[in-house]
Amino acid sequence: MSDRTPDSLPRPETIAVQALGRIDRASGGVVPPLQPSTTFARERDYSLMTEGHIYARDDAPTVREAEDIIAALEKATTARLFASGMAAIATLLRAAATGPIVVQKGIYYGTQVFALRALAEHGIDVRWFEGNDLDSLAAALADGKPTLVFAETPSNPWLTVVDIAAAAKIAHQHGARLAVDSTAATPIHTTPLTLGADYVVHSATKSLNGHSDVLAGALATNDTDSDLWQAICRERHDAGAVLGTFEAWLLIRGMRTLGVRVHSASSNAMAIAGFLAGHRAIETVRYPGLADHPDHAVARRQMTGGYGSLLSFDVRGGSEAALAVAGKLKRIVRATSIGGIESLIEHRRSVEDPMTNMPGGLLRLSVGIEHVQDLVEDLDQALAGIA
Ligand code: PLP
């Protein structure tokens, strides 16, 4: 195995396609090999045969390769993979819970549930802010020395765009670090660390892998000397929330097409958002690429090359109408998750807690890379007769 370090890092599309340029020296294979061993032999003098490789819960070669690719994509010095996006988020939030934690409202439901059930209900001071109201962030940080701000942009499913540079400045003024869940943006459209964030979070289950066949999570950072990063690495090791080697290999394979997938899905999403915005059966369309999206100016400044594959819209007529539309779709699949090559639709009210305040008419659409006209036609026939 060779580590070919390019002189300067190419663009993210190229990093992903070339898997950082690594080839298998032993065979000449241009595809990084899968090394499944959970344990690694020592020399007669008991030194390690390969630096760092002792046991797969500490460091497995194929997992490390996937981590190196994600670190390069996010312009980070290092990254760690976890068994799921939630395992990464839980590890980060638990490690930061040495003081108050400030979490954005209306982000991925599972993150909010974790912050409430696993942290707040166990005595951790969890505070909330509005992603597009940074005065509310400053107010939440004002006392008690919060350790971490957790943001998600664009948010799932509200598509709120957080001004990362401004949020980082405010967090740092108050001595807190900023973590950004960039799952929906992907490193193709946004690299939060270059805008001042301290940690990037991914559900790698989504666009990074892209094929709806791997569950994985990632944290990437340049904050490697901090107590927080040391605590995160210790927690991952001690609690064992690591990614398996086969999943890491599949993730490397999935990431090779990251650029074409993300560009194609984002361009489809833009077209579909435009189509839905002009449809009389639709009340609201949330997509940061639309000029009338409340955070469009921030998105235009912050996101490069597109606005992602995630959007949500409200069907006139509430839950009944939205479920009828979802039920009539023939090509778009009714299923949870986002960021896959296939388009998925979800009625969020049906899958959240009965106490949810999710509007009944809201459908979340994760746009895939099918021919855009097939997707528009499918939505058009499903919306016919509504309103
Ligand atoms: N972050 C975001 C934005 C998500 O959409 C999800 C899952 O939908 C997660 C985190 C959690 O990821 P996982 O399902 O891989 O645990």
Mark whether 207 and 301 lie in a shared domain.
no
Examine residue 77 and state whether it is found in any structural domain, yes or no: yes
- Structural domain including 266 reads 259-383
- 338 Cβ inside 6 Å of ligand 1: yes
Q: What CA–CA distance (Å, rounded) separates 20 from 3? A: 9
- 207 Cβ inside 6 Å of ligand 1: no
Ligand 1 centroid distance, CA of 168 (Å): 22
Examine residue 1 and state whether it is found in any structural domain, yes or no: no
- For ligand 1, atom 5, name the residue with the nearest CA: 108
pTM of the model: 0.97
Mark whether 364 and 283 lie in a shared domain.
yes
Helices 85-96 and 227-239: crossing angle in degrees, nearest 10, is: 130
- For ligand 1, atom 13, name the residue with the nearest CA: 85
Atom of ligand 1 nearest to the CA of 205: 15
pLDDT by 10s per residue, the chain, length 387: 334 444 578 999 999 999 998 888 889 999 989 999 999 999 999 999 988 889 999 889 999 999 999 999 999 999 999 999 999 999 999 999 999 999 999 999 999 999 999 999 999 999 999 999 999 999 999 999 999 999 999 999 999 999 999 999 999 999 999 999 999 999 999 999 999 999 999 999 999 999 999 999 999 999 999 999 999 999 999 999 999 999 999 999 999 999 999 999 999 999 999 999 999 999 999 999 999 999 999 999 999 999 999 999 999 999 999 999 999 999 999 999 999 999 999 999 999 988 788 999 999 999 999 999 999 999 999 999 886
Mark whether 242 and 266 lie in a shared domain.
no
Mark whether 195 and 303 lie in a shared domain.
no
Ligand 1 centroid distance, CA of 203 (Å): 5
Last residue of a domain, one of 255, 290, 321: 255
Mark whether 170 and 277 lie in a shared domain.
no
Mark whether 251 and 286 lie in a shared domain.
no
Q: What CA–CA distance (Å, rounded) separates 379 from 215? A: 29
Mark whether 122 and 237 lie in a shared domain.
yes
In the chain, how many domains are there?
2
Mark whether 42 and 123 lie in a shared domain.
yes
CATH number at residue 297: 3.90.1150.10
Last residue of a domain, one of 208, 233, 255: 255
Mark whether 27 and 120 lie in a shared domain.
yes
Ligand 1 centroid distance, CA of 382 (Å): 28
Examine residue 36 and state whether it is found in any structural domain, yes or no: yes
Q: Which two tokens stand for residue 165?
A: 């540079």
Mark whether 301 and 251 lie in a shared domain.
no
Is 57 known to be catalytic? yes
Atom of ligand 1 nearest to the CA of 156: 3
Examine residue 2 and state whether it is found in any structural domain, yes or no: no
CB of 11 closer than 8 Å to CB of 189: no
Atom of ligand 1 nearest to the CA of 336: 8
Type and span of the H or E element at 128? strand 126-129
Catalytic choice (206, 256, 261, 364):
206
Mark whether 100 and 163 lie in a shared domain.
yes
Mark whether 117 and 146 lie in a shared domain.
yes
